[in-house]
């Protein structure tokens, strides 16, 4: 199962952004197979396969250790009998093992037919992420469901649940519902947080029981009433009163509702452009959830207002376009320092020029000032200072 941990990178549309998913799968030309010479038959990790790069050796060793240590614990957390679960799995490091994420980096990994694939290019830059991502994928090995018969949100939710239970977390995906994963049907951290809530308040065995149900391929929402005595919809209502349901999640669910979504899913009332509108709102909310992102989102809002008032240099009232930008994690997570200055790039519909604006504010909450406006061609050659 793919794991799309964080969709990042924000192009497109109406001074806002569109989520972009692009799966990239490449083969491995040169591989090293590490059949650990001291491999014991009882050890879950059979081999670690990676491109011929010496610096990967330590990642490979770490992956082996984490895989071997986490697997039995995950079986326990999911209430799996070791005799009924897969005995072994392999781990493959390869470039683009998952997808190009929205912040223009490669991320995560996936599990297919008992083999875990991890994004080598991404992990080389973020080796500290290995543990949590690997444990999530190891949980998928343990799940071993007939995937087409199991709702993906519970599969992904249980995998994240197991990751949290083993004490792993990462700064992008705490056990909570957020703008990125606002509903339990979004899976991952939100479904996991919902399961943790039910475990604490209704049934300590909820995860193990859900796992059994999914394993049998017989899941329906009625399971939750049976397991907790409360209808799923009522459980979800109660959960939304807890801190693990964030303001960002609430905002996105409101947008969904206004677009005719029910329980995170489009309905007959949902219009054709709803998915795009929702993606924009979600991207914006995801940016705003981060300390550095909130102030950047504010610069967009300032420029958008100028444009709508016909006050943005280079733009006539009514002209449409979009923000061009790639935000990285550091930019998003670093709180702003004042005076704060930021440059934004806009593209206008039906126009090949690139519009640049530098905006600043003296202190938090102060009025934004437009310091500089200019436009260039696509190659960056100055065409005009406004
Ligand atoms: Zn997954």
* Residue 351 in domain: yes
Quote the ligand 1 centre to 155 CA distance (angstroms).
7
Query: For the segment 40-55, what is each residue's pLDDT rounded down to a tens digit?
Result: 778 999 988 886 566 7
Q: Model confidence at 170, in pLDDT bands (50, 70, 90)? A: low
Quote the ligand 1 centre to 189 CA distance (angstroms).
11
Quote the ligand 1 centre to 110 CA distance (angstroms).
6
Quote the ligand 1 centre to 129 CA distance (angstroms).
15
Q: Are residues 115 and 9 in the same domain?
A: yes
Nearest to 120 by CA among 186, 183, 32: 32
Greatest mean pLDDT range, 9-23, 163-177, 181-195: 181-195
The answer to whether residue 173 scores a pLDDT higher than 60 is: yes
Quote the ligand 1 centre to 5 CA distance (angstroms).
8
Q: Are residues 89 and 178 in the same domain?
A: no
* Residue 276 in domain: yes
Q: Are residues 183 and 201 in the same domain?
A: yes
Q: Are residues 266 and 198 in the same domain?
A: yes
Q: Model confidence at 148, in pLDDT bands (50, 70, 90)? A: confident
Q: Are residues 193 and 170 in the same domain?
A: yes
Q: Are residues 28 and 42 in the same domain?
A: yes
Q: Are residues 160 and 281 in the same domain?
A: yes
The answer to whether residue 362 scores a pLDDT higher than 70 is: yes
Greatest mean pLDDT range, 200-209, 247-256, 296-305, 338-347: 200-209
Q: Are residues 188 and 125 in the same domain?
A: no
Q: Residues 6 or more apart from 250 whose CB is under 8 A from it?
A: 182, 240
Q: Model confidence at 279, in pLDDT bands (50, 70, 90)? A: confident
Cα(127)–Cα(170) distance, rounded to whole angstroms?
12
* Residue 81 in domain: yes
Quote the ligand 1 centre to 22 CA distance (angstroms).
16
Quote the ligand 1 centre to 103 CA distance (angstroms).
19
The answer to whether residue 377 scores a pLDDT higher than 50 is: yes
Q: Are residues 21 and 120 in the same domain?
A: yes
pTM: 0.78
Quote the ligand 1 centre to 217 CA distance (angstroms).
18
Last residue of a domain, one of 89, 116, 144: 144
Q: Are residues 4 and 125 in the same domain?
A: yes
Q: Are 248 and 288 in contact (CB under 8 A)?
A: yes
Quote the ligand 1 centre to 324 CA distance (angstroms).
30
Query: For the segment 228-247, what is each residue's pLDDT rounded down to a tens digit?
Result: 999 999 999 999 999 999 99
* Residue 112 in domain: yes
Q: Are residues 118 and 187 in the same domain?
A: no
Query: For the segment 89-128, what is each residue's pLDDT rounded down to a tens digit?
Result: 999 887 765 444 433 344 567 888 888 988 877 777 777 8
Q: How many domains does the chain have?
A: 3
Domain that holds residue 357: 313-385
Quote the ligand 1 centre to 138 CA distance (angstroms).
9
């Amino acid at each position: 199962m793919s794991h799309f941990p964080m969709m990042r990178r924000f192009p497109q549309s109406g001074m806002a952004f569109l989520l972009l998913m692009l799966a990239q799968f490449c083969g491995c030309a040169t591989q090293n197979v590490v059949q650990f010479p001291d491999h014991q038959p009882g050890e879950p990790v059979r081999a670690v396969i990676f491109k011929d790069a010496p610096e990967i050796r330590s990642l490979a060793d770490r992956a082996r250790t984490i895989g071997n240590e986490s697997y039995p614990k995950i079986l326990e957390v999911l209430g799996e009998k070791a005799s009924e679960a897969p005995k072994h799995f392999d781990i493959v490091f390869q470039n683009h093992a998952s997808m190009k994420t929205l912040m223009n980096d490669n991320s995560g990994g996936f599990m297919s037919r008992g083999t875990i694939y991890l994004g080598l290019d991404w992990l080389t830059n973020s080796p500290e992420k290995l543990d949590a991502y690997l444990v999530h994928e190891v949980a998928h090995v343990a799940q071993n469901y007939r995937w087409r018969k199991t709702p993906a949100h519970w599969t992904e939710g249980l995998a994240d649940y197991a990751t949290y239970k083993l004490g792993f977390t990462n700064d992008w995906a705490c056990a909570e519902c957020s703008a990125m994963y606002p509903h339990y049907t979004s899976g991952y951290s939100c479904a996991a947080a919902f399961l943790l809530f039910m475990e604490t308040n209704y049934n300590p065995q909820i995860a193990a029981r859900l796992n059994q149900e999914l394993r049998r391929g017989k899941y329906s929402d009625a399971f939750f009433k049976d397991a907790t005595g409360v209808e799923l919809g009522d459980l979800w209502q109660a959960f939304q009163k807890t801190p693990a349901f964030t303001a960002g999640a609430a905002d996105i669910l409101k947008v969904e509702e206004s677009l005719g979504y029910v329980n995170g899913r489009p309905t007959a009332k949902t219009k054709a452009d709803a998915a795009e509108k929702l993606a924009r709102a979600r991207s914006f909310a995801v940016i705003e959830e981060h300390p550095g992102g909130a102030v950047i989102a504010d610069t967009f809002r300032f420029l958008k207002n100028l444009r709508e008032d016909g006050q943005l240099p280079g733009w006539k009232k009514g002209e449409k376009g979009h923000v061009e930008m790639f935000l990285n994690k550091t930019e998003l997570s670093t709180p702003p320092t004042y005076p704060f200055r930021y440059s934004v790039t806009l593209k206008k519909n039906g126009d090949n020029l690139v519009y640049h604006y530098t905006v600043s504010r003296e202190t938090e909450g102060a009025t934004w000032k437009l310091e500089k406006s200019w436009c260039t061609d696509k190659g960056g050659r100055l065409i005009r200072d406004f």
